[in-house]
Chain A
Amino acid sequence: MTIGGWIFMTLSVSFVTILCGWCFYRVLSLPEEEVPQPVQDFHSA
């Protein structure tokens, strides 16, 4: 395999892996989503 081949393979695979990892890190480190609370019955305790 030529040096060019190694460079293209390493850069391409690293780019997509890092981009994907960064995106999921951002998504998973966001604060918990707000879950709407059920409406309380007016007369319940």
Chain B
Amino acid sequence: MAQPKQEWGTRLGVILAVSGSAVGLGNFLRFPGNAAQNGGGAFMIPYFCALLLLGIPIGWAEWTIGRYGGRKGFHSAPGVMGVIGRGAAARYLGVLGVLIPLVVYFYYVIIEAWCLGYTYYYLTQGGLGIDSSQAVADQVKASTGFFTSFTGQAANGSLFQGRHAGVFVFWLVTFALNVYYVYRGLSKGIEEFCKWAMPAMAVCGILVLIRVLTLGTPDPGHPEQNVVSGLAFMWNPDFASLGNFKTWLAAAGQIFFSLSVGFGVIINYASYMKRKDDVVLSGLTASATNEFFEVALGGMITLTAAIVFLGEPLTRANTGGTFSTGFFAVPVVFAHMPAGRFFGAIWFFMLFLAAITSSLSMLQPAKAFFEEALGIGRGPSTALLTVVCLAGNLFVLYFSQGLVALDTLDFWVGSFMIFIVAAAQIIYFGWVFGMERGMAEAHEGAHMRIPRVYRFIIKYVSPLYLIVVFVGFCLQAVPGYVRTVLGDAARGIPPDHDAQLAWLVIVAVMAGLFAVTVVGSRRWRARGLDLDGLRGPDDQVRAA
């Protein structure tokens, strides 16, 4: 049965959908901590270098690849990568472009549910019950304790019996919202949602920013804890850090993960664009929107507020990572802030919107893949996706001790594999598809030209930059995660059971997706699709 062709309603819609996919918790919670630990204002030098040499060019390549693949009748990473990389190897590598968003969804939707839960607590119970008359260090302890209990970190299965079993309600609401909007399709679901969610997120962010910048010096007993010293903590440059490879690595990683390149989402979204739809200005606009949320909002709000209410030592101790910043430190800030209940609700609602616009984008690639590889319709593909995601979500919810399972999935799939997909994309684009052909394809219907220097950057600089960063990333982080899975007899570290199970989940999902690709390849060949990209760009799709 022929499926109705899906496409975007407006050019603004697709831009907001891609921006929504990119803007997530990392923009507001990971970026400021990363910058403050790696040179403050000086961090912005490697950060903008990575944006110009890595983020924007890989993004342009991905938009172009996706639209080209869509013209050939493919909407999923295996199909599109097979066309661009000309063959089965690229097609099977493209499976990672479905695996990544799908597996990241397994845990991301749960983090999303936490944000919704926190919004609920601020709206209905005035916050998390933090007593602002206690010493600030004790309040942070209380906030941390609430988070640990709320997320069931004490033991596996504790969420299924503990007093915070209510987290299930937030998860179910979040899960249902995601499935509903994805089922409605591109223009009526994802696009419609992002068209109001993105402006709403900006309004929430600007409201909180205004509140934070007008805090002044709320505690006369601590005149050093004021807005200017908060901004200084984030922005005062430490030029010595520029000589440290770790700073450049952190900056490149921040840009790379923040823009969602190599995630498999842009390929899928761009594949629904028409041949004459612009990809150059659209790609740049999506990246610029992400940067606005990250630098102008994320860089001004979180740490400034933390310094004002927590002081420097506690801010340093509690704003290293995404979770510690967002769920340990920030609730204490709102406990002290005038009208903190209202602003807390707005803040966590904004994080919820940031998360849901990202999670929606994670479902669409797998849905499109099931539809085109198995030849099934919107209903069955959504049902199949729902079953897979339910199983994945329940796994992460049950194995919640210390969030080891979540962390394992996040590292190996949400970080490590993204490098592989992004490197494959940029190399296939510059070296297999060809630079001249790639640029000509990108400029079809474009409303701005890609500067000529980017031919050199995309072909040589971006791949090299990416490989160097990947090697650095592996040397820095991989040994620790390998030890978690395999254990280290010499150091007396036993293997972590939850990490091993998380790996089993990854392997099982990968095996399933490979099997679907085998079925899909036969089907695509039978339909006469150009699945190895051997025909010209104007080859028409011969739909069976």
Contacts and interface: CB of A to CB of B under 8 A. Distances in A.
Interface of A: 1-2, 4-9, 11-13, 15-17, 19-20, 22-24, 26-28, 30, 33
Contact of B299 (A1, A12, A19, A33): A12
A1 B236 contact: yes
A41 B234 CA distance: 65
A19 B288 contact: yes
Nearest to B51: A16
Given A4-B236, A13-B300, A20-B291, A27 B41 contact: no
B320 interface: no
Interface of B: 10-12, 15, 40-42, 44, 48, 228-229, 231-232, 234-237, 281-282, 284-285, 288-289, 291-292, 294-296, 299-300, 447-448
B282 A5 contact: no
Contact of A2 (B232, B289, B295): B232
Given A1-B232, A30-B447, A23 B296 contact: no
A19 B295 CA distance: 12
The 5 closest A-B pairs by CB, nearest first: A8-B41, A1-B232, A23-B285, A5-B236, A20-B292
Contact of B281 (A4, A6, A12, A26): A26
A4 B240 CA distance: 14
Given A1-B231, A8-B235, A28 B292 contact: no
B285 A13 contact: no
A16 B285 CA distance: 11
Contacts of A5: 40-41, 231-232, 235-237
A18 B170 CA distance: 38
Contact of A23 (B41, B228, B284, B300): B284
A23 B56 CA distance: 14
Contacts of A22: 288
Contacts of B10: 33
A35 to B, nearest CB: 10
A26 B292 contact: no
Given A1-B236, A9-B41, A17-B296, A27 B11 contact: yes
A1 B231 CA distance: 7
A13 B299 contact: yes
Contact of B282 (A16, A27, A28): A27
Residue of A7, A15, A30 ringed by the most chain B CB atoms within 10 A? A15
Contacts of B231: 1, 5, 9
Given A13-B295, A27-B11, 17 more contacts: A2-B237, A5-B237, A7-B41, A8-B42, A8-B237, A9-B299, A12-B44, A12-B299, A13-B296, A16-B292, A16-B295, A20-B285, A20-B288, A23-B281, A24-B289, A27-B12, A27-B281
Given A1-B231, A5-B41, A8-B42, A19 B291 contact: yes
Given A23-B284, A26-B448, A1 B235 contact: yes
Residue of B284, B291, B292 ringed by the most chain A CB atoms within 10 A? B292
Contacts, number: 85
Residue of B41, B289, B299 ringed by the most chain A CB atoms within 10 A? B41
8 contacts: A5-B231, A5-B237, A8-B41, A8-B235, A16-B295, A23-B289, A27-B11, A33-B10
Nearest to A2: B236
Given A1-B236, A5-B235, A5-B236, A12 B288 contact: no
B19 to A, nearest CB: 10
Contacts of A1: 228-229, 231-232, 235-236
Contacts of B237: 2, 4-5, 8
Nearest to B237: A4
Nearest to B42: A8
A20 to B, nearest CB: 4
A16 B284 CA distance: 12
Nearest to A12: B44
Residue of A22, A24, A28 ringed by the most chain B CB atoms within 10 A? A24
Nearest to B10: A33
Contacts of A2: 232, 236-237
A38 to B, nearest CB: 15
B278 to A, nearest CB: 8
A26 B48 CA distance: 22
Contact of B285 (A6, A15, A17, A24): A24
Nearest to A22: B288
B288 A16 contact: yes
B191 to A, nearest CB: 13
Contacts of A30: 11, 447
Given A2-B232, A13-B295, A27 B15 contact: yes
A8 B291 CA distance: 15
A7 B237 CA distance: 10
Contacts of B300: 13
Nearest to B295: A16
Contacts of A28: 12
Contacts of A23: 281, 284-285, 288-289
A5 B39 CA distance: 11
Contacts of A8: 40-42, 44, 235, 237
B450 to A, nearest CB: 14
B303 to A, nearest CB: 12
A27 to B, nearest CB: 6
